[in-house]
Every structure is written in structure tokens, then in C-alpha cells.
Amino acid sequence: MDDRAVVIAGGGPTGLMLAGELALAGVDVVIVERRESQELVGSRALGLHARTIEVLDQRGIAERFLAEGYTAQVAGFAGVKLDIGDFPTRHPYGLALVQKHTERILADWVEELGVPILRERVVTGFVQDEAGVEVALDDGRVLRAQYLVGCDGGRSVVRKAAGIAFAGWDPTISHLIAQVEMAAEPQWGFHNDAIGKHAISRLTADGPVGVMLTEPDVGEKDEPTLDDLRKGLIRVYGTDFGAHSPISISRFTDMSRQAERYREGRVLLAGDAAHIHYPVGGHGLNLGVQDAVNLGWKLAQVVKGVSPAELLDSYHAERYPVAARVLTETMASVAVSRTDERSRALRELVAEMLGLEQARKYMAGRMSELDIRYDFGEGHPLLGRRMPDIEVMTAEGPVRAFTLLHRARPVLLDLGGLDGFDATPWAERVQVVSARFEGDWELPVIGAVAAPGSVLVRPDGHVAWSGCDPAGLNEALTRWFGR
């Protein structure tokens, strides 16, 4: 039996990001992945939102992704584009980058960090006790770990074995999505009819054609075939354009479900294993990566004995509401985007409202995920929000705030408000940086706020405390980073 600190089921974006976070913290982690390589066939997530780019910037790897995609204004709601070009962030845009490239870049990073991946293996079940988890693989092997994290998708074996309910809403829309060759020139672009929206697009200059068709009915279906795709094309366009040689054909719906809890003892869920929804808005991959960054440092501290296991409860408390909000947004977007006349009338009204400046900023903050705030109680407007990537002046020169987070360690940034506070007992766990900053801090949606005297930033980039009160700081340090 192999012993590991953490076993991650699933080597998609969520599992890879979590593995990287744990490796940065010095935790022994292994990924169990069903695919023989990281190669991903078919179209899935198409890009990254601004907050996810910031998260990658916090780890010093954002440029790897930016170099392979292209930036654009991708935030939107129900077909209404929401420009975030004026938002106070170094990344006031989204990144168009298909998931197979995102995964490849993350996998390269994880390999650099020395994380092993057990390929062509699947977690089939587990047994947990007070001391750990025995994780069974499909080859008969058993891994012993302190914790198991299910990042194994919407049909998660880990979630089902843990007995965690996946509550939500059944689908009302079904789509076929494919990459195929076509013998004839197709009808490019979007096409709307009484059934719904359809699209045909060129994925690359000389590559396969991308097809998305709305199906006339929703229900239990077998895996889609080329014949299903051809019949769908004929139904919508009157011809199948000689579709042949499919690279991928799959089906997706607007089913929306969320795990009732993200933790069951020593078993946790992240990414699609914890929440699924209609892909409009492009939040799925982004939610998973941010789940991983929220969970990683907490799990590392518990594994290393720095913090009690109860710290892991804050993972569900913080991330569950974020995903629940996305489910609400996507269901609302589906309702507004239907092709009947009443829905079109509603969409026109919504588009008009989103043209108002305050409404635009509010919704753009939600869709770009730059407005996320965890509930840490009352206090400075920064509390619970993302730390802005300000440039502060230290004794060694100017430093960007995000560079202080590259090693995934918490940061206590003293801007002149910590006179008399002895940070020595925390020196091994928390970076203490003395610096100066002039002027207000700018936050998305909110605007300018007064600069705090000092700020405590968690490894995930969210502000855990700010101010000048030593007692409050000591309480926050103890709460988040052990005694």
C-alpha cells in the first residue's frame, strides 16, 4: 500500500491547480488520471476570466497562458458584452485560450514542481477512518492518504461514494457539439430558429469545422454519433454539408447541480465534482481553478499540523456561495436567451438596463469574478476581497503585491500601521513585508477606498484582516494560520 499525504482524483484544470498549490506548500501529493496523456480531444472551456488570470499571476505563471492565447473583452450576460477595460486590475480582460492548452500549460507547471501523475488509472472507491483514507484504483492498487480530493467531474465517483447529494435542476435544453470535416462550404455563423440557437465556425484556418446544434427534445439519450449530427444539420440547414471524419462529438445541457456539501470527513470535492451548470458565461473551468486555490493552502496547513481540520470547513463556507451564484446567473441567462418572442422582449430590456453605467459595472464585476468577497465579518471594504496588485515601495525597491504570493505563502504587509506589534512568532508561517504606499486603493465595482495601515493577505490572495489593531491582527493570524 502506497502512502501519500493527498490523493487527487482527476487531472483536469482543477486537479492540476490543486496539485500545484499543495506542491508549493511542500505536501506530498499524487494525481490519479484516467487519460494516458494530457491531450484533450474536443472543445470544452474556451478561456479564462480576469480573476483567474490574476490567480495565475499570483503564482508567477500568468505569462505562460497570456503568451499562447489572445486577450479580449469576454465578460457578458445573455449575449450582452460587458467591457471591463476600465476596471482597476492589471488584467482588465479575458483570455481566449482553449482548455487543451490551459491543461497542457498547467501540467507542465505541475511537472516542474515534481508532482507524479498516475495515468490510465481511475479511483473506484475509498474507505476512510479517523486517521486517513484508503483509495482504491481500478488496477487493484490501494493508496493510503490523509485526504482525498475529488476533482473527477460532474459524474464524480468520489462524490457518489461519499454519499454527497448533487441537488439542482434537470435540463431544459440539449445541444450537440462537434468537430468534423465538411465536404461542402457550410453556412458560417449563428442561426436562430424556433428550436434554439445553432452555430458553425472555423476553429482554425485549415482545421476542422466546429458545430453546435440545439436539439428539439431533452431526455435520456445514447452517446451521440455522426449520424445524429448529420440528421441535426439537415433539420436545421436542410443539408449536412457532407459532414465526415469527426474528431469529437458530444452533448451538453443546461442541467444545474451543486454538491450539498464540499467536505465529508477526509474527502473533499472541487470543480465540476462540486458544481455543474450551462457553459454560457464561461465560468466552469474558472470556478474550478479558484476552488483549488482556496482549498490548497488550507489543506496543506491541516496536513502539516499547522491548523486544525476545522479550517477545511471554511472551504465550503466560502466557495459554495460563489458557485451557487454562478448557477443562478447561468439559469437566468438561459431564460433570457430563449428564441421565442417573449424572451427576446425580455432580453432587449435586460440589454438596455446593462447599458447603464452602474448596472454594467455591477454585472461585469460578477461575470469577470473580480467582485468576489468572502464573508469575514464587518470591517474595512477590503476585508474578504481580492488583494489589489498594487506596487509598494520596500527597502529593496518597488514590489508588486502579487509577486509576494508566488510561493503561496500568506503575507503581512505593514504600511506603517503596526508599531509595537511583534510578528516574530509568525515569521516561519507568514511573510512580513514593511513598505510604503501613497494614495487610495481602487477596487472593481466599489471604486476608491482608503489605504489601510496594514493588511494580512491569505495565500489565495484574499484579505484576511486590515487595520492597525494588534489584537485584531493576532486574532486573524491565529484563525487562519494556526497557533
Dmax (CA) of the chain: 78
Is 2-168+257-368 a domain of CATH 3.50.50.60? yes
Would you tell me how many other CB atoms lie within 10 Å of the CB of residue 75? 27
Task: State how far the Cα of 322 lies from the Cα of 325, in Å rounded to an integer.
Answer: 5
113 grid coordinates: 514542481
Q: pLDDT by residue (tens digit) across 7-60?
A: 999 999 999 999 999 999 999 999 999 998 877 666 566 789 999 999 999 999
132 grid coordinates: 486517513
Q: List where CATH 3.50.50.60 sits in the chain.
A: 2-168+257-368
Would you tell me how many other CB atoms lie within 10 Å of the CB of residue 229? 20
Return the percent helix, strand and coil in the chain, to nearest 5: 30, 30, 40
Q: What kind and span of H or E run contains 101?
A: helix 99-112
Q: List where CATH 3.40.30.120 sits in the chain.
A: 391-481
Task: State how far the Cα of 201 lies from the Cα of 179, in Å rounded to an integer.
Answer: 10
Q: Report pLDDT for 36.
A: 86
183 grid coordinates: 465536404
Out of 3.30.70.2450, 3.40.50.300, 3.30.2290.10, 3.30.930.10, the CATH code matching 174-253 is 3.30.70.2450
| Contact call for residues 50 and 94 (beta carbons, < 8 A) | yes
* DSSP reduced 3-state for 174: strand
The whole-model pTM stands at 0.94
Q: List where CATH 3.30.70.2450 sits in the chain.
A: 174-253
| Contact call for residues 18 and 296 (beta carbons, < 8 A) | yes
For the 391-481 domain, the top CATH level (class) is alpha beta
Low-confidence ranges of the chain (pLDDT < 50): none
Rounded to an integer, what is the distance from CA 318 to the centroid of its chain? 14
* DSSP reduced 3-state for 228: helix
Task: State how far the Cα of 347 lies from the Cα of 334, in Å rounded to an integer.
Answer: 10
